[in-house]
Amino acid sequence: MFLNLPELPEDLKKLMSIATDLELTPKLRSDAIESIANARSYEALLVLLALVADEKLTFAERDLALKRVRELIKHNR
């Protein structure tokens, strides 16, 4: 990953790996993005932002990650 993310919990590392694996189906990658968002943590927010910036992902996947970032920010007000 191009960002220097802090040490991530193992579950977030696995989900991030799934979300960025272009050999998997878009449905699996989207499900991984949803699971990352469900973690509702600072680390999850950083991972989602990294996914938004990942130009290898489809527009829909990057947009989904961005929507989940917005929801996390609203939730933590």
pLDDT tens digits, one per residue of 6-41? 688 899 999 999 999 999 999 999 999 999 999 999
DSSP single-letter state for residue 7: P
* Half-sphere exposure (Cβ direction) of 7: Cα atoms closer than 13 Å: 0
Tell me, yes or no, if the pTM score tops 0.85: yes
Q: Do 70 and 39 touch, CB atoms closer than 8 A?
A: no
pLDDT value, residue 8: 86
C-alpha–C-alpha distance, residues 68 and 59, integer Å: 14
pLDDT value, residue 60: 97
